[in-house]
Chains A and B, each alone.
Chain A
Amino acid sequence: MCLAIPMQVKAVEGSEAVVTQGGTELRVRTDLLDAVEVSDYVLVHAGFALQVVDPEEARATLAMLREMAGDAPQEGEARG
């Protein structure tokens, strides 16, 4: 029940945001966030955005996983 899905913000309208993921579009409340911008990733749970995903931390974790898997970052990819 504590499932929360990362979805990307397409538009911010007052205390709501339009978010998308894999072709699904939702309107969610943003009451729990101090700030949110278009193109941010937010964690969506029960119709609310719980938090903005930190892109630097996401990249750092991916870099750690890639290193463990023995993959070098590919050309042209953003690095954290």
Chain B
Amino acid sequence: MAETGPDGAMRMMDEFRAAGAVEALRAAIAAAVPRPVKLMEVCGTHTMAIARAGLRGLLPQEITLLSGPGCPVCVTAQGEIDAFLALGERPNVVLTCFGDMMRVPGSAGSLEQMRARGTEARVVYSPMDALVLAIEQPSKEVVFFGVGFETTVPTVAATLKEASRRGVRNFSVLAAHKTIPGALAALASAPDLAVDGFLLPGHVSVILGEAPYRFLAEEHGVACAIAGFEATDILDGIRALVEQIRDARPTVANRYHRAVRSEGNPTARALVDSVFAPVDATWRGIGLIPGTGLAIREEYAPWDARARFADLDWERFANVPEPRGCRCGEILKGALTPRDCPLFGRACTPARPVGPCMVSSEGTCAAYYRYQL
């Protein structure tokens, strides 16, 4: 950056928005697409960016874009939500979570509704903010709801390390994190879904790098492209996918080089591995996927809400049914679109959401509703 200085750098980042290559990329995609193809944008942040920029309308009709399971709030199991809310009914507990989680319906009301009845709950921007809250209020028990993928997990791991280092005794994490490659393996193997290509999540890939996806191309024959989040980044990723499909040469194309190193961020991964160990996880609507969850290691048990509140009947939350009629599960797998759900826009709206795909601002149903797709 030295030769441009800070102002030059600022201009450079803004230029990705104004790069003016949208039409050229659209034409390149149209020229390359060899047949009708189904592409899945795995990441909820991509889902929102695609809807906001109106990219569906730009693409040739041979391309069907499906939304995948990459909305952390959407794939959090009902039982995990209910367990977190149950902790809020205990004396002295302060629940903390990212903003999207506040409105997700539990089996007996949302956190927002519980707050109106006296439960202490705070939205935090960073897990570190929850730790600071615990330090400032030593008489309270602060519980953070650990939801999110590989992008977010390192921030929670670093916070747990910090809690341990500082000997904070009134802070714990209810870990409900999930990891992406195993979920994509499950989708690629599903008999009812024929996805030709995955638009891979850019910021998950900042941490993972390219290698963890290679099996998707090599063993499942699915085209893969890591993409950034500007309209041009997304179109460039789609172009890479259709070219792989045209040439029948599936691989993992990294089209987000400015942020994604081929090896990812090994420092962040090492931190995660020192705090968390892989476990099986239940994905809402999809079911159990082996090895796609993360449990807090024994060494950090004092900060693990499951160990700290061991007297809670955790078994009760193992298999909680999802709301009746809600088709989030099929929508998360790309088997249905929100318009196929009988509740969409009628019983289920952003103001009165039934399922998490409508609650989360990056949920597929919320995107379809807001942008009238």
Which of A's residues lie within 8 Å of B, judged by CB?
1-4, 6, 8, 29, 31-34, 39-41, 43, 45-48, 50-51, 53-55, 57-62, 64-66, 68-71, 78
Contacts and interface: CB of A to CB of B under 8 A. Distances in A.
Interface centre among A4, A61, A62 (most CB of B within 10 A): A61
Interface in B255-275: 257-261, 265, 267-268, 271
B352 to A, nearest CB: 22
Given A8-B9, A29-B158, A62-B12, A2 B271 contact: no
B21 A2 contact: no
A49 B125 CA distance: 13
A57 B25 CA distance: 19
B311 interface: no
Contact of B44 (A2, A59, A62, A78): A2
B206 A51 contact: yes
Contacts of A55: 1, 9, 12, 258
Contacts of A57: 257-258
B270 to A, nearest CB: 10
Interface of B: 1-6, 8-10, 12-13, 15-16, 19-21, 23-25, 28, 43-45, 70-73, 98, 100, 125-129, 147-149, 151-152, 154-155, 158, 161, 201-204, 206-207, 229, 232, 236, 257-261, 265, 267-268, 271, 360, 362
Interface centre among A3, A40, A45, A65 (most CB of B within 10 A): A65
Given A41-B13, A62-B12, 8 more contacts: A1-B151, A6-B13, A32-B154, A41-B1, A50-B207, A51-B206, A53-B258, A78-B12
Nearest to B48: A3
19 contacts: A2-B202, A2-B204, A3-B229, A6-B13, A8-B10, A31-B271, A32-B267, A32-B268, A33-B267, A45-B203, A46-B125, A46-B155, A47-B128, A50-B203, A54-B257, A55-B258, A59-B12, A65-B19, A68-B25
B162 to A, nearest CB: 8
A29 to B, nearest CB: 6
B258 A54 contact: yes
Interface centre among B20, B21, B261 (most CB of A within 10 A): B21
A72 to B, nearest CB: 12
Contacts of A39: 1-2, 5-6, 9
Contacts of A61: 16, 236, 257-258
Interface centre among A4, A51, A59, A70 (most CB of B within 10 A): A51
Contacts of A40: 1
